[in-house]
Structure 1
Amino acid sequence: MANPQFEQVRTEAADAIVDGDLRSVYTGLVREDGRHEYYFGNDTGDAEELREAAAIQLGMLLRVLAARSEQSLEEVADLAVDRAEEMELR
């Protein structure tokens, strides 16, 4: 495994999902063969609360990816927008 911390992060995330008092969950999986899966759920039906939860999750992900990839937030966001436009979500 290229990143020895990956298994620890995966275990901690799984534990948090099972044990946490959650109101919003997003898990995106990118498999070694390139397949993508995502799970997105929120404990609200209100559009404004949904947008806020999604914005928080996107912000967290962008911040971590930018820091770890040594790119700016804007560079990571631009790339994410490009990929999102290419995706066919089911």
Structure 2
Amino acid sequence: MTNPQFETVTDRAVAALSEPDLQSVYTGIIHADGRREYYFGNDTEDATALREAAAVQLGMLLRVLADQSDSDVDELAELARERAERMELG
């Protein structure tokens, strides 16, 4: 494993998933063989609440990626938009 913090992060994420007060969950997994899995769920059926939760999650991910990769948030957002348009989920 090239990043020694990776195991710590995955262990913390797994533990957090069992907390009883979760309202929204997104997990994107990329396997070494290129396989991808996506899990997205919210404890609401309200479209406004869903959009807000998704926007918060996207913002958190962009901020962390920008900080850790020395990239600009706008650059990452544009790259993510391009990838999302090409992505087929199913």
Deviates most, 46-55 or 26-35: 26-35
- 1:20 deviates by 4.4
- 1:16 deviates by 0.4
Q: Which amino acid aligns with 1:47?
A: A
Residues 1:13 and 2:13 are matched in the alignment: yes
Q: Which amino acid aligns with 1:42?
A: N
Q: After TM superposition, which residue ranges in structure 1, 4 or more long, deviate above 2 angstroms?
A: none
SS in 2 for 1:19: coil
Structure 1 vs Structure 2 CA RMSD: 0.8
Give the Cα separation in 2 of the matches to 1:39 and 1:68: 23
Q: Which amino acid aligns with 1:72?
A: D
TM-score normalised by the chain length of structure 1: 0.96
- After superposition, give the CA deviation of every residue in 1:19-47 in whole Å (9 maximum; x if it has no partner): 24100000000111111110000000000
Q: Which amino acid aligns with 1:77?
A: A
TM-score normalised by the chain length of structure 2: 0.96
Question: Please, which runs of 5 or more residues in structure 1 have no aligned partner?
Answer: none
Provide the residue aligned with 1:70 in structure 2.
70
Question: Please, which runs of 5 or more residues in structure 2 have no aligned partner?
Answer: none
Q: Which amino acid aligns with 1:44?
A: T
Residues 1:87 and 2:78 are matched in the alignment: no
- After superposition, give the CA deviation of every residue in 1:27-83 in whole Å (9 maximum; x if it has no partner): 000111111110000000000000000000000000000111110000111111111
Count of residue pairs brought into register by the alignment: 90
